[in-house]
């Protein structure tokens, strides 16, 4: 179940990269991401239901819940970033957004691989360290994008909208670190 959730997070991140890189067919791309978010909700619901009906679990119940929630947060925040583009009616590429989405995708790939290796417990620490390193990279990209935004954007409403989108992307990378 963890593997399926991690794969959904990775697929969501891949769709988000396409959206941020191409910045076309925004409604269609946001709808595809929303579909993954609904799938993620179903997956976490199924996992929690199974967790509540299982007497002996392979991992501590709290750890299972925390990992599932962290992976779900990744999906939710990716969806939030895509949704804000639609809600805010934003139609221009955002400096730093594609870079953040690409880092998120690399993180979700590492998490999916780590979850697949959960039973072996081999190489997981290295994957988690790499996810943390990438989160630091995302922080630098975010800070540079925000700095550029505040220097260049004169319309305060537009600035707030773009900042909100970038913050959702950055929080998604934080959730990857939480999952790791």
pLDDT 10s digits, 61-82: 888 889 999 999 999 999 999 9
Smallest CA-to-CA distance from 123 within 115, 114, 110, 136 is with 114
Contact 173, 134 (CB under 8 A): yes
The answer, yes or no, to whether residue 57 has pLDDT greater than 90, is no
Average pLDDT over residues 77-101: 97
The pTM (predicted TM-score) of the whole model is 0.94
Angle, helices 97-116/61-87, rounded to nearest 10 degrees: 160
Task: Give the pLDDT of residue 56.
Answer: 77
């Amino acid at each position: 179940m963890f593997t399926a959730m991690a794969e959904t997070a990775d697929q969501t991140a891949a769709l988000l990269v396409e959206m941020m890189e191409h910045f076309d067919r925004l409604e269609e791309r946001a709808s595809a991401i929303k579909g993954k978010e609904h799938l993620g909700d179903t997956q976490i619901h199924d996992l929690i239901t199974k967790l509540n009906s299982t007497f002996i679990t392979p991992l501590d119940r709290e750890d299972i819940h925390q990992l599932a929630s962290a992976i779900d947060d990744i999906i939710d925040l990716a969806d939030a970033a895509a949704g804000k583009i639609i809600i805010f009616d934003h139609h221009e590429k955002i400096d730093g957004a594609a870079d953040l989405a690409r880092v998120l995708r690399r993180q979700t790939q590492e998490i999916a691989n780590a979850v697949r290796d959960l039973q072996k417990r081999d190489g997981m620490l290295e994957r988690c360290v790499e996810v943390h390193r990438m989160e630091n990279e995302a922080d630098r990209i975010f800070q540079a994008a925000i700095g550029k935004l505040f220097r260049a954007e004169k319309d305060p409403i537009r600035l707030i909208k773009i900042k909100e989108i970038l913050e959702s992307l950055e929080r998604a990378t934080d959730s990857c670190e939480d999952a790791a």
